[in-house]
Amino acid sequence: MKRASSFMAIAIWILSAAAIAADSQPKPAPDFNLTDSEGKPVHLAELKGKVVLLNFWATWCHGCKTEMPWFVELQKKYGPKGLVIVGAAMDDDGWKSVKPYLSEHPLNYPVVLGDATLSEHYHVGPMPQSVLIARNGTISASYAGVVDLPVCEQKIERLLKSGS
């Protein structure tokens, strides 16, 4: 009986480890093709080879407003090295709220209107939410809530250096 229990424990441990390993495999970032606030297309597939920080935000979100100046600085600092930040505004009334907000708070990165499909593909919950996408198009990290800036910046630096 003791031998059977030991065998079961080992089998469960092996299956758990396999499930964790399978779950930790990088997943491809869902593609999107949207138009930014200036009417230019933003297609994730065309950003392959860049590190992408996709930030879901809304004009009414206080945490989002906290992050925006940080992302402006990250884009300035790392844009020349291959970082592209894309803001996905999730306001229900779309450009009606977003364009005036952007006029008052200019950003140095493209902003698209997120939609239900994008939200579903990226499992968007409460905002802010950010997804870091490696150069090879796989999801490297997800951040629910306001990002921990030093941790996020370190991850961006590693991705820019790694080439993947």
How does pLDDT run across 94-120, given as a tens digit for each residue?
Answer: 999 999 999 999 999 999 999 999 999
pTM for this predicted structure: 0.84
CB hemisphere CA count around 124 (13 angstroms): 23
CATH of residue 32's domain is 3.40.30.10
15 pLDDT band, cuts 50/70/90, is very low
Q: How many domains does the chain have?
A: 1
Q: CB of 59 within 8 A of CB of 91?
A: yes
- Which residues, in sequence order, are bridge partners of residue 36? 112
For residue 10, tell me if it sits in a domain. no
DSSP 3-state assignment of 69?
A: helix
Domain that holds residue 154: 27-162
14 pLDDT band, cuts 50/70/90, is very low
